[in-house]
Amino acid sequence: MKITDGEKLIILMLSELYEKLEVRGEIEPDFIRSAIFSNNTWSIPWKYAGIPFDEQDTPEIVKEVLSILDMWSFIERSYGELTDDEKAFVEAGAAPFGKDPKFRGFDGNNEAEYMGTASFLVNELDRFSEFKERYFNSHCPMVEAYSRMLSMYEPIIKEQHYQSLSAQSLVSILKELVHPERQGKA
C-alpha cells in the first residue's frame, strides 16, 4: 500500500484520536501505527482483507521472507515427527545444524529489513504462530544460506506433495546452511 507522507501523518493523527476517544471498532490503531512506523504498510490490506483496497503487488522481500518462514515451518514440524533413530540420522548427516533444527532469524545488523519483516509477519499479522516469542536476530548473515536451502527445499516439497519431509530430505536441505566453500571440509 502506497501512502504519502501527508497521508501517514493524517492516519497517525486519526489513530491517536481513535485511541484517545476509546473508539472500539474493527480498525486497531496500534496495528496501523506499527505498520506505518515500521514501513510495513503493505500489511494493512492483509490485516483488513474485508476492505476493498486496490490490487497491489506484495513486496519481493515479503515474498522471500514468507518462503523462508514456510520452509522453516515444514522443517521444524517434520523434524518433530521423526523417530529417535531418524533424528540421530539428521543430526549426523547435517552436522553441525542437524540437532533440533530451528529457525534462527536474520542478522540484525545486515539483514534488518528481513528480520523486521519476519517479526512483523509473526507478531503483528499472527502468521506462523509457531515462531511467536522467538528472537529473530541470528547475529550472523543468513539470507544467502536460506536461499541455498530454498533452492533445495522447493523441488523436494513439491515432489512430496507438501507432505512432511523425510529424514534424508531434511539432511539435504539443512546441509545447505554450510557455506559452499566449507562443504565437505571437517
Each residue's pLDDT tens digit, 6-48: 999 999 999 999 989 988 888 899 999 999 999 999 999 999 9
Evaluate whether the domain defined by 60-177 bears CATH number 3.30.420.40: no
Average pLDDT, the chain: 93
Instruction: Give residue-wise pLDDT tens across range 54-102.
Output: 888 899 999 999 999 999 999 999 999 999 999 999 999 999 999 999 9
Distance CA 165, CA 102 (A): 15
Sequence spans of domains, the chain: 5-47, 60-177
Angstrom distance (rounded) from CA 158 to CA 151? 12
Does residue 86 contact residue 163 with C-beta atoms inside 8 Å? no
Radius of gyration, alpha carbons of the chain: 20
